[in-house]
Chains A and B, each alone.
Chain A
């Protein structure tokens, strides 16, 4: 309750700050923002950087395998993750630009995102082909995942896929698609032909059907679903004659959704497909119980999300697929949480849109699996192709602390976008040298990450202030900092400092396995930082020693926390705080700045909770 009140206060403060900023910025002003995220232990002890256009934030992350990948998130999701859950202040610098400059920048980042995703999809397809041919070479029957083949009872419980029907298969193939992809498309086509012929029921385990009052359909929702059923019938008819290579999987999904809509109308409540991907991670019942204090709030948020999603049924003239996907996702997440809380089931977790995949592993057709070629030669060649493609990706996207990191890639993209070369050229990744001319002309300067340690996020933030024409700056405080500020405003400073300065008595922070072992928060005590850091160092070393003893029991978890605790105490001895603690949960109230109105290309003013706008330094 106390936290909820504080949260509401922070939100009101942010709205006031946002309104103030809006008054200072001409309507229609185009801008982008450079975001510098302070360091914390864990994901990015060197800090992080991002660029924001309107409601979208682009940032590069270091992935397992040593590759850098571009990500796009909504501004509210980005700030929720970094400022709240990861408890790191985000320093924001807004740069006013001409609309055409904004378009070039935004277009460049968007094009790179699509290009990268395509390249990684290509790599996955080549690796699947490599695995398929290796299995064939080893004398085993290769299996491929087939989207949609697991929706209906017959396809997995039956005796295997039927033989292709002459003339019934679509005109796919004959192109350069990897073998595994061709096989999956053909198998999906075969499965859907059988489903159309036999009309088997949906498998029980792919359906979310729970007799809950909150899933009861209102009259207008029934009308909307009835209309949607007709639309799905029409789409199914079109897909039967479609020439697209993946028509089989698309048709299976359409038929499966049509079946759930029919069941919903019959039962008078929402019955939907299970939308979690087959490889979704899951928290065990024990892990869920350990988070018991957050579960009521999470369930309330999930219920609210479901209510919002269902508005499309009541208000939209026609339910579109995106509407249905939103409802499916919200229902699935709500039921998953409810089942974990009330029935002690594991809790599956998946970020982003949830689209039912109905995936099943099916054996590759013999004529594709063994076309008569030298199996060993084919397997070797597929491995070489995949290896070459991996190497090419690593050469272009490989993480390098000094030369290609989350900072350098942002400035490289800015320079390319504003250079003479038109954004979205034939190969967006083939950029080796930085041409600063366009950036200097459009932004007033150029940040070359190769110069003067500018590959470090906080140094780069200083360079942005020095090089670009920054209009305003502000800081989105970390979750702990914003709540502490509210406490200081209401309570005795000394009491708050003593109570909240350590992990044992803090009312805001609970020690987590994801955080290192430490005792004192040193962020709020700059002068005493070395002394408190020394205590933290001792705690880390002590935890390490205890971790050695606990090794057989906990698999090294305490030892790791202890070692990390000692490591991240060392900078504190030199007055530097990196470790700030993190949170498993924070209310997902809208952060101002994620919802903005007006503006050109981007939008008018952005503010985040507690953000304090100020004029630029220069």
Chain B
């Protein structure tokens, strides 16, 4: 039965498959009125971050990882500091953070990113010097203080 219908089934599926993969549309579903998704901050689960063992929320971990990736790409591609700050600001807003300077995860993520990109001492010093003035009290250790 299965074998007999296989070509027919494949043809039928191919007939409709032209519509392709999941299509993104602006949601107007009432289900979306109550909660977020996409790594939403509404999902406030707590997990253990593999890298440092500290208890941290999943949204915070996601944000930190994104900052790390942004920093790594910035170091590898090069670019001016204001552009990095703008990109950082836009990334933070997507995570629900308006003041990225006050989020400890920002600084941890930058450190992670510099480390992942094997940033030179000069690059670390330049970034740290530019950002240091605005660092809030209690933020993680100096960006430039980490061994290259």
Contacts and interface: CB of A to CB of B under 8 A. Distances in A.
B36 A574 contact: no
B102 A321 contact: yes
A239 interface: yes
B33 A45 contact: no
A76 B12 CA distance: 32
Interface string A83-118: 001000000000000000000000100110111011
A322 B91 contact: no
Nearest to B58: A55
B91 A351 contact: no
Contacts of B83: 175-177
A235 B93 contact: no
B72 interface: yes
A243 B41 contact: no
Contact of A570 (B15, B40, B130): B15
Interface in A538-586: 567-568, 570-571, 573-576, 578, 584-586
A320 B17 contact: no
Interface residues of B, number: 78
A169 interface: no
A349 B27 contact: yes
A227 B102 CA distance: 15
Contact of B97 (A246, A355, A401): A355
Contacts of B73: 111, 114-115, 118, 424, 428
Contacts of A44: 19-23
20 contacts: A39-B17, A45-B17, A60-B21, A64-B25, A77-B38, A110-B65, A110-B69, A113-B69, A177-B86, A238-B101, A239-B101, A294-B30, A298-B30, A322-B57, A336-B33, A351-B37, A351-B38, A352-B37, A353-B42, A355-B96
Interface stretch (B44-52, B119-127, B140-148): B44-52
Contacts of B42: 305, 309, 326, 329-330, 353
Interface residues of A, number: 120
B21 A301 contact: no
A534 B122 CA distance: 72
A407 interface: yes
Nearest to B86: A245
Contacts of A573: 12
Contact of A59 (B16, B22, B65, B99): B22
B110 interface: no
A305 B99 CA distance: 24
A172 interface: yes
A379 interface: no
A355 B22 contact: no
A261 interface: no
B96 A353 contact: yes
